Amino acid sequence: MQQKIDNSIITVEKVSHAFGDKTVLDNINLSISKGEFVTILGPSGCGKTTLLRLIAGFLKASEGKITIAGNEMTQIPPHLRPVNTVFQKYALFPHLNVFNNIAFGLNLKKLPTEEIKKRVMQVLKMVGMTDYEERDVDSLSGGQQQRVAIARAIVNEPEVLLLDEPLAALDLKMRKDMQMEIKAMHKKLGISFLYVTHDQEEALTLSDTIVVMSEGKIQQIGTPTEIYNEPANAFVADFIGESNILNGTMLKDELVEFAGHTFECVDKGFKSSEAVDVVLRPEDIYIFEKTDVAQFSGQVTSCIFKGVHYEMMVTTPEDYEFMIQDYQSFVVGKTVGMRIKPNDIHVIRKERYFNSFEATVVDKLHIRFSGHSFKSFEAVKFEAGTKVTARINFENVTLDDNEENGMLRGVICFILYKGNHYHVTVRTENGDHFYVDTNDIWDYGDRVGIVINPELIEIETI
Amino acid sequence: MYRKIRSFVGRRRNWTIPYVLFLAFFVIVPLALIVVFAFSNNEGGFSFTNFRKFWMQPEAMNTFIYSVGVAIVTTFICLILGYPAAYLMSRMEPKRAKLMVILFILPMWVNFLIRTLATVALFDFLKLPLGEGALYFGMVYNFLPFMIYPIYNILQKTDQNLIEAAQDLGANPRQVFLKTTLPLSTPGISSGILMVFMPVISTFAIAELLTINNIKLFGTTLQENIYNGMWNYGAALSLVMLLLIGITSLINSDGSTKAAEEGNLI
């Protein structure tokens, strides 16, 4: 990590925020340097917009400290903060024309009319909207409204420009053009940009630094290349770009086993036979006619032309599925050989190896955790009231279509395809997470019942 | 025969016939009659006598001007009282705001004559004099909900992003109100003005009851003339009033059509 403290324009320290009893941000630490382009990237509902609103001042953090340009600003109202925001739906004032929309902030500062006119004309030129100053904002296209929204923010010369998914409402072509313009504008203005998006490609294109968020937590902070090439965990690997993510075992330093084969790799420092996640980018797997140089083989099950490359799904005899991208196509049904360079195998330490809950023994047959009393045959070994740890392997949790059939109810909040099965995260009503390995296909947001076989709950003393 | 009826009823266009007939008999014909009566003398010939009479007779003219004055003052008081009420309601949590709206509208479910008679009784009970003060009280009391509701409706629909944008650009709470909330709520204000001003101009029962016939409004003059068989003169006066209401709604049309589109009119 670089030392950024001296140069930072915004620091967010230990910030947590909750709506009611739902925690949306959990202990966020972040620092933004002067002139840096930082993107907060994450799926919807990960807390990224909340974080931006905390910095803009529309929300007051429940816990933690926010410093902007050296001043503590955690509880300061938005009109006194040296930041300006570009809103997702532009939020242009419908009762004012383009000129007066842009001049809104300058008028409030009571600057001389000449100065206001000069500065408005300057930014209009910068966003390529000269001659539009008399226009009604409702008569502008989405892209033009977006330009006015940006002009209205930057004309105030903020220390930091906050952008809340500013391109989400535009079509693809327009979005690409605007991305380039925003990048050029950032270079020209020299101020910091804090950009919120759920579009990973946008984040990779624009940013100096990307902050990947999920479930109210920061998953990784790094440059686009770092995030893409060295994802910190399976979530980041899955969210940024396409990936094959598989369960593997680290046999010894620089030797990993996955998909039923052993591969040389470059990672070390793991315990012997430690369970790991292996990330393979689809463009890093070489595919060719089956020959002796192949490390493993498989059969092509689908082949789609994607413009520059072909995207193929290949199933190995061990029943693992790989996504492979190559300029060369192979027909469906063909047996092919594959090879992966040691450098292209990314080994990631697993965040957890099993479900683990703090539990209390209720009686000889039951233990209580996650707000529910579960039957467990191991409970007999402990006194009632003992505090213990309940451990359930991923494959021993069953999900039921019918919520009512489960001991607990939950919602599917993350799905990871592991080549031959799905690793599903279920969030229960009280906010606990259950991690499940399953062959069934679920969707995000599915409501499920959670069932655990009493024989398969292992109990350990703390 | 049966098939003929069926095809007649089956055609959607024919469903409007009862309504068109009703409209013709009870709206268009009476309106046309008013115009005919207004422009004819007692013998039935075409003339401007009635309008000349209105113009020349100071009594009718003065009542007219006084009525317009009462309507303007009532509308103004309603606006001063109604805007803050609507503003506060729009900032409440939806459940409480809904309850408040119902409380404001509840008195409207009682016939307004009964309400006004009750007001008279209340003034008697409190030993307050009936007269001009009571008249204004009665007017404001009766028409305040018509001001509050459209304003509340538009304030409640105001895009919260615009308020935040104003804050973000450096507006303090007072400036946010003056430069964003207030200008954005003008369609509600004009719709409210229209809905108070128009009926106040023509009402006469409130004035009769709350001033014991001491103050005459234009509506009263009109009613008296018709009541006393002076149909031609009465019709002319009605036409004058209709013209005034027409002008007010024209001035307001920009705002009120916008408000009407958003379903603000009760």
Domain contains B43: no
The range of the structural domain enclosing residue A257 comes to 242-349
Domain contains B63: yes
In this structure, which amino acid lies at residue A143? Answer: G
Same domain, B224 and B117: yes
CB contact set of B148 (below 8 Å; sequence gap of 6+): B82, B85, B86, B89, B104, B192
Residue A146 in contact with partner chain B when CB distance is under 8 A: no
* Beta-sheet strand order (sheet of A387-392): A372-375, A366-369, A355-363, A387-392, A458-461
CA angle A9, A86, A96 (to 5 degrees): 130
Mean pLDDT across A423-435: 89
Same domain, B107 and B9: no
% of chain B surpassing 70 pLDDT = 94
A104:B167 CB<8 A? no
CB contact set of A131 (below 8 Å; sequence gap of 6+): none
CATH code, domain with A85:
3.40.50.300
Q: Which of A237, A260, A277 is the last residue of a domain?
A: A237
The pLDDT value given to residue B265: 44
Domain contains B78: yes
A104:B159 CB<8 A? no
Count of domains for chain B: 2
Q: Which of A326, A349, A372 is the last residue of a domain?
A: A349
Pairing of strands A296-305, A310-315: antiparallel
CA angle B147, B149, B155 (to 5 degrees): 105
pLDDT bin (cut points 50, 70, 90) of residue A272 is confident
CATH code, domain with B209:
1.10.3720.10
Pairs of CB atoms within 8 A across A/B = 61
Cα–Cα distance measured from residue A48 to residue B266, given in angstroms and rounded to the nearest whole number: 41
Q: Which helix (H) or strand (E) holds A101?
A: helix A98-108
In this structure, which amino acid lies at residue B232? Answer: N
Measured between alpha carbons, how far is residue B138 from residues B107, B131, B205, B206 in Å?
Answer: 13, 10, 10, 7
The pLDDT value given to residue A6: 64
Same domain, A125 and A167: yes
Same domain, A324 and A446: no
Same domain, B99 and B10: no
Residue A334: both structure tokens together: 């063909």
% of chain A surpassing 70 pLDDT = 99
Q: Provide DSSP, A66-82.
A: EEETTEE-TT--GGGSS
Domain contains B47: no
Same domain, A79 and A48: yes
Same domain, A323 and A180: no
Domain contains B249: yes
Is residue A390 classed as helix, strand or coil in its secondary structure? strand
Same domain, B137 and B248: yes
Question: Contact, A366 vs A373, CB < 8 A?
Answer: yes
The pLDDT value given to residue A317: 93
The pLDDT value given to residue A322: 95
Same domain, A223 and A316: no
Pairing of strands A192-197, A37-41: parallel
Provide the angle, in degrees to the nearest 10, between the axes of the packed helices B186-202 and B231-261: 160
Same domain, B9 and B136: no
Q: Give the model confidence (pLDDT) of A211-226 as tens digits.
A: 999 988 999 999 999 9
Number of other CB atoms surrounding residue A248 within 10 Å: 23
Same domain, B128 and B252: yes
Q: Which helix (H) or strand (E) holds A57?
A: none
Same domain, A39 and A101: yes
Chain A CB contacts of B190 below 8 Å? none
Q: Give the one of B161, B164, B171 whose C-beta lies nearest to A108's C-beta.
A: B171
Mean pLDDT of chain A: 90
A92/chain B closest Cα distance in angstroms: 7
Residue A79 in contact with partner chain B when CB distance is under 8 A: yes
Q: What is the three-state SS of A233-269?
A: CHHHHHHCCCCEEEEEEEEECCEEEECCEEEECCCCC
The pLDDT value given to residue B181: 93
pLDDT surpasses 90 at A155 = yes
Residue A101: both structure tokens together: 């929309």
Chain A CB contacts of B170 below 8 Å? 79, 105, 108-109, 156
CA B149 to chain centre: 13
Q: Give the model confidence (pLDDT) of A387-399 as tens digits.
A: 999 999 998 898 9
Q: Give the one of A85, A91, A105 whose C-beta lies nearest to B162's C-beta.
A: A91
Rg of chain B (C-alpha set): 23
Domain contains B38: no
Same domain, A218 and A246: no
Residue A236 in contact with partner chain B when CB distance is under 8 A: no
Residue A326: both structure tokens together: 């190559």
Average pLDDT, consecutive stretches of 10 residues, N- to C-terminus, chain B (266 residues): 81 86 92 88 78 82 89 94 93 88 84 88 89 90 90 91 93 93 91 88 83 83 84 87 83 56 45
B167:A95 CB<8 A? no
The pLDDT value given to residue B259: 47
B200-239 residues touching A, CB cutoff 8 A? none
Residue B159 in contact with partner chain A when CB distance is under 8 A: yes
Residue A192: both structure tokens together: 């910091």
pLDDT bin (cut points 50, 70, 90) of residue A1 is very low
Same domain, B74 and B134: yes
Q: Give the model confidence (pLDDT) of A308-330 as tens digits.
A: 899 999 999 999 999 999 999 99
The pLDDT value given to residue B264: 45
Q: Provide DSSP, B115-165.
A: HHHHHHHHHHHTTPPPSHHHHHHHHHHHHHHHHHHHHHHHHHTS-HHHHHH
Q: Give the one of B161, B167, B168 whose C-beta lies nearest to A89's C-beta.
A: B161
Mean pLDDT across A297-309: 93
Same domain, A275 and A232: no
Question: Contact, A336 vs A300, CB < 8 A?
Answer: yes
Same domain, A360 and A287: no
* ipTM exceeding the 0.90 mark: no
The pLDDT value given to residue B162: 94
Cα–Cα distance measured from residue B261 to residue B266, given in angstroms and rounded to the nearest whole number: 12
- Closest residue in B to A91 (Cα) is B162
Same domain, B81 and B203: yes
Q: Which of A203, A237, A271 is the last residue of a domain?
A: A237
CATH code, domain with A255:
2.40.50.140
The range of the structural domain enclosing residue B152 comes to 57-261
Same domain, A263 and A412: no
Chain B CB contacts of A84 below 8 Å? 168-169
A91:B161 CB<8 A? yes
The phi, psi pair for A274, rounded to 5°, reads -75, 135
Best mutation site among A50, A58, A76, A165 for testing chain B: the one with the most B CBs within 10 Å? A58
Domain contains B179: yes
pLDDT surpasses 50 at A275 = yes
pTM over 0.90: no
Count of domains for chain A: 3
Q: What is the three-state SS of A119-167?
A: HHHHHHHHCCCCCCCCCEHHHCCHHHHHHHHHHHHHCCCCCEEEEECCC
Measured between alpha carbons, how far is residue A143 from residues A172, A178, B161 in Å?
Answer: 11, 8, 18
Question: Contact, A148 vs A96, CB < 8 A?
Answer: no
* Beta-sheet strand order (sheet of A63-68): A22-33, A8-19, A63-68, A71-72
Domain contains B206: yes
